[in-house]
Amino acid sequence: MKIILFGAPGSGKGTQAIVLSEHYKLKRISLGDIFREEVKKDSSLGKEVKSYMEKGLLVPDALVSKVVEENLNEENFILDGYPRNLNQAKTLDKILEKKGESVDAFIYLEVDEPTILERLTKRLVCKKCGANYHMVNMPSKKTGICDSCGSELIQRKDDTPEVIKKRWEVFLNENKSLLDYYKTKNKLIAIDARGNKDIVLERIKKLL
């Protein structure tokens, strides 16, 4: 099974990708995680990506596609955070065609702007392991401390209302042609991603 998870920042892609990858035994490929790790290592890729991420802008297609191709192999996978526009979708098809493969499902997690603002402005991330928390919906057992590794929880620089709104605008401008593309291929599965993460997961599993 080869699945793409698509949705605006804060739609729950990362959370659902982890659970679905474990449930269906899929390799999870998260562009956001890969980029943040490179930024943390201060690699040449990380330096290139950092300026885009902090401004809430998308990383250029050519750079993103190169990273994706390097991480794809013959395994079944779930892609989180790619493709984000029509050009990237067509590039992904070409990458998979070389391997004799194709996408099985494009899952669109639908949310609205108020939901995204509520989720992201109150999101906390572990400084060391990258685990995600929410001040209200999914708090850590000890305030400000990661349950997994005991490190400090911080708010990401791009989780401010101003940057979130910018990311939302970019998302809206990009998404219609992408959704139409997978709809014509009969690969589009739209999911109401508002509400509890467990409820959303059951909706996804039911339609898959």
Tell me whether residue 123 is one of the annotated catalytic residues. yes
Active site residue 167: yes
User: Are β-strands 2-7 and 105-110 bridged in parallel, bridged antiparallel, or unpaired?
Assistant: parallel
* C-alpha dist (Å) from residue 124 to 108, 119, 157: 24, 10, 11
Structure tokens of 59?
């990383």
Residue 190 burial by CB count (10 A; 0-12/13-18/19+): exposed, middle or buried? middle
Selecting among 2, 84, 119, 203, the annotated active-site residue is: 84
Q: Locate tokens 């391997």: which residue?
A: 99
Catalytic hit among 13, 36, 50, 119: 13
Residue 35 φ then ψ, to 5°: -65, -45
Closest CA to 113 of 165, 176, 191: 165
Catalytic pick among 2, 119, 167, 203: 167
Among 2, 36, 50, 123, the one annotated catalytic: 123
Beta pairing, strands 105-110 & 188-192: parallel
DSSP labels, 38-63: HHHHT-HHHHHHHHHHHHTPPPPHHH
Choose the catalytic residue: 127, 156, 166, 197.
Answer: 156
84 in catalytic set: yes
- Whether 156 sits among the annotated catalytic residues: the reply is yes
Catalytic residues: 13, 84, 123, 156, 167
